[in-house]
Chain A
Amino acid sequence: QSALTQPPSASGSPGQSVTISCTGTSSDVGAYNYVSWYQQHPGKAPKLMIYEVNKRPSEVPDRFSGSKSGNTASLTVSGLQAEDEADYYCSSSAGNPYVFGTGTKVTVL
């Protein structure tokens, strides 16, 4: 099972928006709406930010949003804040049954 493809890095200034892509195949991202996004700060455990493509846990700010088109899912962080600087991973409930993305480091300039 191959990892989902994410860009290694993304950046934006405070207040700006950044979008991270997550590309899979018709057997994982394209086949299911079980796409999730996780935020991980250095030395910490991952935290669920988005589930089922575009749903947000109650404790996650509405600055975080998710979408999907075909085999590619996306996470958008609007109104960037310093605390958003972290690694972000997507995941898909594929046939195996789970696979993660390669990870994207978001830097707030």
Chain B
Amino acid sequence: QAQLVESGGGVVQPGRSLTLSCAASGITFRNYGMHWVRQAPDKGLEWVALIWYDGSNKYYADSVKGRFTISRDNSKNTLYLQLNSLRAEDTAVYYCATHVAGTIKTWGQGTLVTVSS
């Protein structure tokens, strides 16, 4: 059974940086593309980024392109999201999730990022 555990969230000032991690277990991590999806307080889901199973391709939502970087370490079964130049509107719960045949399949429990001075 796939299990994804996000960490690294917290309170950060506008303009600063933060790195989120997602530890995977119960799956052969290197075989899966991985997503980051976020949800602002009392708002809907927003897709953020996707990385292929081998890290060879990366895709970003326009709202984060140039500020966020998705990466992975298959030797550590871990996915990352580097968040730079943070803004108040980046405040959200950030979920990692597996990519299977065009579908966002299994989700972690999320980690909250609050951007505030």
Interface residues on A, range: 20 to 34
Q: Is A54 an interface residue (CB 8 A)?
A: no
The prevalent SS among residues of A at the interface is strand
> In whole angstroms, what is the CA distance A97 to B103 when docked?
11
Beta-carbon contact of B47 and A91 below 8 Å: yes
- Report the bound CA distance from A32 to B95 in whole Å: 24
**Does B107 contact A98, Cβ atoms closer than 8 Å?**
no
Task: Tell me if A97 and B50 are in contact (CB < 8 A).
Answer: yes
Query: Does A99 contact B107, Cβ atoms closer than 8 Å?
Result: no
Residues 11-42 of A contacting B (Cβ, < 8 Å): 32, 34, 36, 38, 40
Which residues on B are within 8 Å of A, measured CB to CB? 35, 37, 44-47, 50, 59, 61-62, 95, 101-110
Q: Can you give 20 A-B contacts (C-beta < 8 A)?
A: A32-B102, A38-B45, A45-B95, A45-B110, A46-B45, A46-B107, A48-B106, A51-B101, A51-B103, A51-B105, A52-B102, A93-B102, A96-B59, A96-B62, A97-B50, A98-B104, A100-B47, A101-B44, A102-B44, A103-B45
